[in-house]
Amino acid sequence: MDQRTTTIECDSCGANNRVPLSRLKDRPKCGKCGARLPLGGGPITVTDANFDETISTSPVPVIVDFWAPWCGPCRMIGPTLEKLAGQMPHDVLIAKLNVDENPGVASRFQVRSIPMLLGFVEGEAVDTQIGALPPSALEGWVRRVIDKGRMIAD
């Protein structure tokens, strides 16, 4: 059995909870106050090494932002993604993958133009957005991926 754990900070009381990766899908609660732990948020950095594990163990939909430091439009959408991650830590996990440093994942998903956003639910890609969007449209797209996650979970 998988014994690895991750530490999640409760957004109600601030307590740090150590949760086994194998229990994430059970929607764990805070050991101190009993509130549901935020299982998304971010942005986190994903790499060729941890990409598969991150998207397959996440109990909430994952948005992967394929980006590079030299890409102007990527820098435009970065702050919006960061804001959404902060607003919806129970609904979605925002992950960023630098395509220059992680050619394995980038070529697997045939990333030819960035920014490219992929939405994953239970490890499966459910939606793609290529190119930057204005903040409101970007939020709409993220919410659509979250809705697809709810449909699949029901």
| Contact footprint for Zn ion (CB under 5 A) | 10, 12-13, 15, 30, 32-33, 35
Using the minimum distance from each CB to Zn ion, give the nearer residue, 15 or 126.
15
38 within 8 A of 11, measured Cβ to Cβ: yes
Q: Residue 33 or residue 152: which is nearer to Zn ion going by CB?
A: 33
Output the smallest distance, CB 16 to Zn ion, in A: 10
Give the Cα separation of 71 and 143 in Å (integer).
Answer: 25
Q: Please say if 74 is a catalytic residue.
A: yes
Minimum distance of Zn ion from residue 94's CB (angstroms): 22
Place of tokens 């449909």: 151
Sign, CA torsion 63/69/71/74: positive
Q: Does the annotation count 10 as an active-site position?
A: no
- Report how far apart, in Å, the C-alpha atoms of 116 and of each of 110, 130, 146 are: 10, 4, 17
Q: What 3-state DSSP class applies to 128?
A: strand
| Min dist. Cβ of residue 89 to Zn ion (A) | 13
Nearer to Zn ion among residue 30 and residue 145 (C-beta): 30
Known catalytic residues are 71, 74
